[in-house]
């Protein structure tokens, strides 16, 4: 198959979540263009409406209006966060400073994900949390008057970091955090835009509540994690070229580009103008012969959402690729580490887990077999990409779950493919 066309991927999921949350606490009217309309984004909008925030419907090409209220209203009923870990964890940070009880829950996948790494420091700041089995959802949080926090994060997690920074915003207290590895910095960029102090000293990120949330206008760039799947499809094609326009190029989100480049992928970056402190530009991707590489723990932390896509590219690369220290993949929407290895083996690719490392050995044989997603959107999209290679016969059990982060993914993937021209 050949790849062709110029397309725009949906709005950045991380920035959409944060835009909605920041707008909710900025008294007045905020406008968000290009917002992601996925199930996860709708979960954030839904729970904010339960907390008294007026948000216009999310839809393709719609300008979203958020009527913020400075402080949340006590909700009636449980706050159902769907499949969205970002919604849950960031909202917990804000609720920690609100003096009412709220119960958060989610779907079966989200209820399995650990929350203690977020709730423990929030309790140290002054919130009260009653958690469900294994410290997961459903859980009840009672906010209170918060205390300053100095905390070393046990894992590299932008969700955890952002939750604690947002607790500092809502509670008006200082927060100092140390990360084991750098993670995406969308929250920090937005906070600086509102006058909050964020400084890095001696490996610690120091936040001071010097700013104020005001209504704003935001244009959300295309999500680089979504773009990665189309970059992967271009790399596996037999010919052609694909241009992805208006993609967010935040350096904390584009670590996958360095990895695919080292594997031999042909991806050109055309930088454009910044939007609200976020660099934006186009990606031009072409087919390439791929080779194996070694992905370091630091690189894994910077490309955690793209590992499923990188693993299926490794399945078509010459040699054995090792992804080191991928333990965080065990607590995503599924146990992605085990499930990726299982599915790769099922379709005929040599793959194994050694400790927290994932090893994938490439093959030229067409991938054939069923794929179990466990409702994980990134696994569904990754194997849809692998299913584009010649002779592939892959049956994904739940392709529709891609809508969690990328509405219309399968239609778009089909639209940019065409039969290869034979001499």
- In this structure, which long-range contacts are made by residues 271-274, counting pairs with CB atoms below 8 Å and at least 24 apart in sequence? 272/246
Residue 83 contacts residue 404 (beta carbons within 8 Å): yes
- Asked if omega into 138 is within 30° of 0 (cis), the reply is yes
Q: What is the rounded distance in angstroms from the CA atom of residue 44 to the CA atom of residue 18?
A: 9
Q: What is the rounded distance in angstroms from the CA atom of residue 109 to the CA atom of residue 120?
A: 21
The separation between CA 175 and the C-alpha centre of its own chain, rounded to angstroms, equals: 24
Q: Quick one: which of 221, 380, 382, 375 has its CA closest to 303?
A: 382
Separation of first and last alpha carbons in the chain = 14
DSSP 8-class letter at 318: B
Residues 185, 305, 325, 376: which is the catalytic one? 305
Q: What is the rounded distance in angstroms from the CA atom of residue 59 to the CA atom of residue 90?
A: 23
Q: What is the rounded distance in angstroms from the CA atom of residue 358 to the CA atom of residue 35?
A: 34
Q: What is the rounded distance in angstroms from the CA atom of residue 392 to the CA atom of residue 388?
A: 7
Residue 102 contacts residue 86 (beta carbons within 8 Å): no
Angle between helices 186-193 and 158-171 (to 10 degrees): 30
Q: What is the rounded distance in angstroms from the CA atom of residue 415 to the CA atom of residue 271?
A: 25
The separation between CA 309 and the C-alpha centre of its own chain, rounded to angstroms, equals: 13
Strands 217-219 and 242-248, bridge-based pairing: unpaired
Q: Which two tokens stand for residue 65?
A: 């209006």
Instruction: Show Cβ contacts of residue 274 under 8 Å, excluding neighbours closer than 6 positions.
Output: 280
202 is catalytic: no
Please give the positions annotated as active site: 305
């Amino acid at each position: 198959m050949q790849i062709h066309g110029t397309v725009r991927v949906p709005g950045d999921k991380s920035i959409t979540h944060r835009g909605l949350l920041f707008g909710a606490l900025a008294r007045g009217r905020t406008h968000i263009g290009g917002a992601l309309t996925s199930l996860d984004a709708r979960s954030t909008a839904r729970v904010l409406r339960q907390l008294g925030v007026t948000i216009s419907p999310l839809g393709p090409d719609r300008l979203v209006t958020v009527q913020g209220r400075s402080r949340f209203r006590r909700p009636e009923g449980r706050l159902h966060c769907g499949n969205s870990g970002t919604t849950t964890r960031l909202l917990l940070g804000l609720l920690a400073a609100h003096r009412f009880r709220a119960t958060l829950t989610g779907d079966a996948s989200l209820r399995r994900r650990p929350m203690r790494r977020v709730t423990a420091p929030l309790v140290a700041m002054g919130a009260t949390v009653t958690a469900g089995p294994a410290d997961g959802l459903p859980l009840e949080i009672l906010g209170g008057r918060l205390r300053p926090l100095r905390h070393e994060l046990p894992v590299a997690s932008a969700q955890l970091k952002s939750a604690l920074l947002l607790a500092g915003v809502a509670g008006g207290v200082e927060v100092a955090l140390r990360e084991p590895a750098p993670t995406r910095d969308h929250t920090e960029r937005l906070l600086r835009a509102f006058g909050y102090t964020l400084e890095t000293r001696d490996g610690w990120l120091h936040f001071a509540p010097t700013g104020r949330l005001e209504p704003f206008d935001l244009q959300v760039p295309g999500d680089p994690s979504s773009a990665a799947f189309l970059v992967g499809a271009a790399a596996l094609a037999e010919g052609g070229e694909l241009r992805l326009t208006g993609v967010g190029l935040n350096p904390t989100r584009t670590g996958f580009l360095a990895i695919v480049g080292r594997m031999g992928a042909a991806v050109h970056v055309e930088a454009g103008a910044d939007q609200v402190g976020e660099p934006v530009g186009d990606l031009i991707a072409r087919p390439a012969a791929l080779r194996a590489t070694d992905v370091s723990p630091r690189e894994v932390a910077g490309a955690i959402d793209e590992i499923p896509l990188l693993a299926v590219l490794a399945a078509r690369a010459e040699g054995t690729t090792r992804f080191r220290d991928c333990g965080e993949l065990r607590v995503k929407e599924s146990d992605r580490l085990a499930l990726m290895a299982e599915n790769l083996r099922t379709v005929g690719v040599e793959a194994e887990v050694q400790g927290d490392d994932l090893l994938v050995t490439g093959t030229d044989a067409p991938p054939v077999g069923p794929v179990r997603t466990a409702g994980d959107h990134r696994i569904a999209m990754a194997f849809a990409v692998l299913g584009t290679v010649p002779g592939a016969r892959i049956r994904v059990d739940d392709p529709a779950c891609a809508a969690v982060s990328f509405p219309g993914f399968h239609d778009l993937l089909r639209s940019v493919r065409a039969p290869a021209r034979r001499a």
